[in-house]
Structure 1
């Protein structure tokens, strides 16, 4: 159990006795939903098309690990009042924090470019026109909303965008899924040491456990603390810990459950349709949608393609925002989406620049759309040092006061870190061995 330091009581947060679920659901819901971005959709589609149901087990296996590491991220932000990068800067050597933020920035920009390209290609499938123009449109709309929309209203918009994820549940129930076969594959999976199988596992793990999600959820807890009347960092108001940790746990575990359930349905849908018809090579989420039109009908195609756009609009601000938070805290800038543009000029400049570079990648010889699958692999590699740093941060009493991780969460966090490191190491061995 979490221990409470003995200090003078601080202001309490006004909360109803029976809070509505949408009021509880916040950072965890948005973080989990943004995990199923166009890059993730491409990864899950490729996994389903190439391996059928044989890798569906990874979504169940990764759930407790991703939920645990996201809860740890949220706790760091809520306890200290600083995000991941802010705590790294304050408590560790500059080269470590700079290296981690640098890797995150590169991964996020590549992901932004890939997601924007996928969204442009998906809209072109629905409304014929120039895909690059659509890329520019999505980039402009996303950056403008993030920079100029009031924070509370913007969060509400992101919550509603989470509904776009259920398009993939609809797809799974439109096609005829042999659920008994799916169940056997999940309960008794057929493992392999072949390079493509291991790379696929790293890609799935890199999609479900992504470093930008750690930074985003920690920072959203900081934002939430600043925006809610009476809320303070738990180092200053420890009596708020019990209710806050309960809220974080519900929010995070439900949000991550939704994320993995949706990913599971994408794998099942593409395995049932594409893999069953011999279509085993899917490079992008738009290609998956187009392939579905031929084997599953127009309705499934439209729903799948529309879902790519909806999830992309949810994820673009998370990618750009997490990069801006990390860079801003590294350089001790004023950061936060709740601030006006003129109050955090450097922070919003990074948001705009990251989005602009992501748009620009689609105009270069580097094809970010084809990089969708590999961006997930890159996220898996980057996640390892970030997770190690987070685990040490969250276990230091001088940083977390009386709120160092309880034993169960500490064990799950280290298991998640070891699993990520092992899968990346196994992939490297197959490549260079």
Structure 2
């Protein structure tokens, strides 16, 4: 076997290992994330680039905890809470998760509709939103889990377009390096709001639930019995690390694009998703504009099944209903009905007067405000020997987990103090 064949085989084996972690990381860069990063770049230039560097280890540590909980318990986060904790804790988690996820779904649908209209102006935005909602519902209900997972996995490649865009515009790479490694913080309401939004859309609560549930689904397909050993844990960590690093890289390049192209072009306020794409057109050319727009639709198709599926896992595990993307509709009617209702609720948000970019950023900020509660719960589960046995958190995982909890809590509290005029 020659070296070229060996390399191909090695890459193929690595691609096979990638699954829930890659999909979770890529879905993190959904239209909500793109909008938040774009607004950060337009409003503050390169000042928030450093957040991509800080966020990666925190994201990876938390997602690995969630994945390990799924592997060890054979349940999603909701199932683990239901089995080992009191009902009030379960209901608090549901209360904090449901509205943010529905708003995120609605915002993503609206963003996809707006960008669809941008690419094909003859067709109204509403028609695109309805079309994408129906398309996603049909695909989720009728395709088996393995096919959905495969499609989501390849849709991750759409995010590569954002790694191309910055190179279509001249960059001051010395300034980029400085902004990446030397944190810059402005102590005012606008900057803290966007910081909480970045943290919220990067360390998103819905990803915690999705990661745990998908690990269970993956193991069900690999074996009837969940056997957690060093090899399984190592492959999971590889998958999560790659997915989170990919997510962080895309985040970095979106802030870089808008922080140089839009900020330097005097565009500091983005009010609609299509405006973010259109603003690139005269400043960075048609290619950048088209890639940005196509990326929004591609990431929406990737993220909305994750969002709606995550919400359905939460609700069906809470009430003990049959659930799973590997089930047919007649085998898990409640599971698919929750997905359908979440998509329709999300679509209805298009008609209440909130612009897509506002809803996207609001959902990111809401995630940032609610994530500390869920991170605290995850840390408690991950360190509970009665649940995790010998697979409780390492010291490194706990340090990173508590760092994420502290940073997000402090940011949320400071934002509230600004909101109520205390600061």
TM-score when normalising by structure 1: 0.93
1:255 and 2:235 matched: no
Partner of 1:151: 145
Partner of 2:3: none
Query: What is the CA–CA distance in structure 1 between the aligned matches of 2:194 and 2:75, rounded to whole Å?
Result: 34
1:326 and 2:314 matched: yes
Q: Conserved in 2, the CA contact under 8 Å of 1:174 and 1:300?
A: yes
Partner of 1:45: 38
1:123 to 116, 119, 123: 116
Partner of 1:425: 413
- Using a 3 Å threshold, how does the CA distance of structure 1 residues 429 and 392 change in structure 2: closer, same or farther? same
1:235-256 superposed Cα distances (whole Å, 9 cap, x missing partner):
xx3xx42011101110001100
Partner of 1:180: 174
Structure 2 unmatched ranges of 5 or more:
1-8
SS in 1 for 2:358: coil
- Measure how far apart 1:189 and its partner are: 3.0
1:47-103 superposed Cα distances (whole Å, 9 cap, x missing partner):
000100011001101110011000001000011000111111111121221121122
SS in 2 for 1:402: helix
1:35 to 28, 35, 38: 28
2:383 to 395, 418, 421: 395
1:199-220 superposed Cα distances (whole Å, 9 cap, x missing partner):
1111100011000000000000
1:81 and 2:81 matched: no
| Structure with greater helix share of residues | 2
2:160 to 161, 166, 174: 166
1:308 and 2:296 matched: yes
- Using a 3 Å threshold, how does the CA distance of structure 1 residues 406 and 288 change in structure 2: closer, same or farther? same
- Using a 3 Å threshold, how does the CA distance of structure 1 residues 353 and 296 change in structure 2: closer, same or farther? same
1:25 to 18, 31, 42: 18
1:189 and 2:177 matched: no
1:54 to 29, 47, 51: 47
- Measure how far apart 1:17 and its partner are: 9.7
- Using a 3 Å threshold, how does the CA distance of structure 1 residues 369 and 184 change in structure 2: closer, same or farther? closer
Query: What is the CA–CA distance in structure 2 between the aligned matches of 1:283 and 1:396, rounded to whole Å?
Result: 45
In angstroms, what is the RMSD of aligned CA positions? 1.4
Q: Which is further off, 188-197 or 220-229?
A: 188-197
**Large movers: runs of 4+ above 3 Å:** 16-19, 365-369
1:142 and 2:141 matched: no
1:352 and 2:345 matched: no
- Measure how far apart 1:382 and its partner are: 1.5
1:119-153 superposed Cα distances (whole Å, 9 cap, x missing partner):
00011111111101100111111111111101111
SS in 2 for 1:401: helix
1:219-239 superposed Cα distances (whole Å, 9 cap, x missing partner):
000111111135x33xxx3xx
Partner of 1:4: none
Q: Conserved in 2, the CA contact under 8 Å of 1:38 and 1:311?
A: yes
Partner of 1:215: 209
Partner of 1:7: none
Partner of 1:378: 366
- Measure how far apart 1:368 and its partner are: 4.5
Q: Conserved in 1, the CA contact under 8 Å of 2:35 and 2:357?
A: no
Question: What does 1:197-346 correspond to in 2, within 5 Å?
Answer: 197-229=191-223, 232-233=225-226, 237=227, 240-346=228-334
Query: What is the CA–CA distance in structure 2 between the aligned matches of 1:280 and 1:17, rounded to whole Å?
Result: 45
1:378-427 superposed Cα distances (whole Å, 9 cap, x missing partner):
01112111111111011111111221111211221111111111111111
- Measure how far apart 1:193 and its partner are: 1.1
1:308-353 superposed Cα distances (whole Å, 9 cap, x missing partner):
0000000000100000000111111111101111111111110010
Query: What is the CA–CA distance in structure 2 between the aligned matches of 1:135 and 1:348, rounded to whole Å?
Result: 20
- Using a 3 Å threshold, how does the CA distance of structure 1 residues 17 and 207 change in structure 2: closer, same or farther? closer
Query: What is the CA–CA distance in structure 1 between the aligned matches of 2:164 and 2:390, rounded to whole Å?
Result: 45
- Measure how far apart 1:367 and its partner are: 4.0
Q: Which is further off, 371-380 or 283-292?
A: 283-292
Q: Which is further off, 362-371 or 98-107?
A: 362-371
Q: Conserved in 2, the CA contact under 8 Å of 1:284 and 1:372?
A: no
Q: Conserved in 1, the CA contact under 8 Å of 2:272 and 2:356?
A: no
TM-score when normalising by structure 2: 0.95
Structure 1 unmatched ranges of 5 or more:
1-15
Partner of 1:6: none
Q: Conserved in 2, the CA contact under 8 Å of 1:45 and 1:285?
A: no
Query: What is the CA–CA distance in structure 1 between the aligned matches of 2:159 and 2:117, rounded to whole Å?
Result: 20
